[in-house]
Amino acid sequence: MERVGVLVHPTRPVRDALEVLQRWTDARGLGLVQIPTGGEPSVAPAGEVTACDLIAALGGDGTVLKALHAAGRTRTPVLGVAYGSLGVLTAVRKDELLAGLDRFAAGDWLARHLPALEIRAEQTVPAWAVNDLVLARRGSAQLEVEVSVQGELYVRAAGDGIVVATPLGSSAYSMAGGGPLLAPGTGAFVCTPLAMHGGCAPPLVVPQDREVTLQIHPGYGGFDLEIDGLRVDTQAQRFSIAIRGTYATLVALDDSSFGMPWLRERGLIGDSPRVAARSTRVERER
């Protein structure tokens, strides 16, 4: 290792983790640079992702997503540091950062190779989504979306919009809209219509070797486009979406951190009340 990059949350006080990171890099003779993404305070000399062996993202899942996109071209490993409870993308809490850094340096970590949605629109450069793309109506008018797979029409849906999600993102907005969970490593992505007004269009799971086309017919209010939670200005009304192999590399220290335990611990998955009550009774009797 020669250099570590850091990306910080724009408002959270991350000074304590920064001090840990600075002492750790100083003790090992490593450089520490900040990867600028816009809007965050200056905490270290600016540097390029291409020159870094590791990116430490201090804040939460949103900060980690920014770091993953910044490191997407080089696939530089990203270590997510949580301020609060662990998220799906963070590997350690702020008070565990030193141990996490030591484990990374010793090679005692797991590389999570994350796919991403490649999003193409007319006369624009491709965009990438690690979690999801959301097209949502603006105002009271419905948003009409024609969904096609490899040129074959699936549905013309009028409603609140649509979410297209990776397996990682399937536990977020897509699941809230009634979409299925895709287990980690599933070679597919999912399209979930939002509050469709009449008709029938269950969430569609699309194999990784297929492409989805979304043709938008907005109402008078227009529509909003969000990619990984960030609003994107666009005049396009036709989008082609496919999932691509390894887009970014995330540092993990627990092999179960991306699976069912995380969803259960946070209440996103819950047992049937009858089963849960029986389990509680058994535990009390013990």
DSSP 240: E
Count the alpha carbons within 13 Å of 167 in the hemisphere toward its beta carbon: 20
User: 257: pLDDT confidence band, cut at 50, 70 and 90?
Assistant: low
Rg from Cα positions in the chain: 21
How many C-beta atoms lie closer than 10 Å to residue 41's C-beta?
A: 11
Q: Where does residue 242 rank: exposed (0-12), middle (13-18), buried (19+ CB within 10 A)?
A: middle
Q: What is the dihedral of CA 23, 26, 31, 33, to 10 degrees?
A: 20
- The pLDDT value recorded for residue 258 is 59
Question: Residue 253: phi, psi to the nearest 5?
Answer: -115, -5
Which residue, among 151, 148, 179, has the nearest Cα to 166 in the 3D structure?
179
Mean pLDDT of the chain: 91
Q: Which residue has the higher pLDDT, 40 or 35?
A: 35
- The pLDDT value recorded for residue 255 is 67
From first CA to last CA, the distance across the chain in angstroms is 50
- Domains delineated in the chain: 3-108 (3.40.50.10330), 116-246 (2.60.200.30)
Mean pLDDT of 34-59: 87
61, 132, 160, 228: the active-site residue? 61
CA distance 181 to 166: 10
| 187-196 residue pLDDT tens | 999 999 999 9
- The pLDDT value recorded for residue 228 is 95
Specify whether the CB–CB gap between 139 and 221 falls below 8 A.
Answer: yes
Do the strands 223-227 and 230-232 form a parallel or antiparallel pair, or are they unpaired? antiparallel
Specify whether the CB–CB gap between 169 and 132 falls below 8 A.
Answer: yes
CA distance 14 to 44: 13
CA distance 281 to 279: 5
Q: Where does residue 215 rank: exposed (0-12), middle (13-18), buried (19+ CB within 10 A)?
A: middle
Specify whether the CB–CB gap between 203 and 191 falls below 8 A.
Answer: yes
CA distance 104 to 106: 5
Specify whether the CB–CB gap between 113 and 120 falls below 8 A.
Answer: no
pLDDT of 274 > 70? The answer is: yes
Q: pTM for this one?
A: 0.89
- The pLDDT value recorded for residue 147 is 98
Q: Is 233 a catalytic residue?
A: no
Specify whether the CB–CB gap between 202 and 230 falls below 8 A.
Answer: no
213: three-class secondary structure by DSSP = strand
What percentage of the chain has pLDDT greater than the value 70?
98
Mean pLDDT of 233-244: 95
pLDDT of 37 > 90? The answer is: no
| 116-147 residue pLDDT tens | 999 999 878 899 999 999 999 998 889 999 99
Mean pLDDT of 14-36: 92
| 77-122 residue pLDDT tens | 999 998 877 678 889 999 999 999 999 999 999 999 999 999 999 8
pLDDT of 239 > 90? The answer is: yes
- The pLDDT value recorded for residue 259 is 66
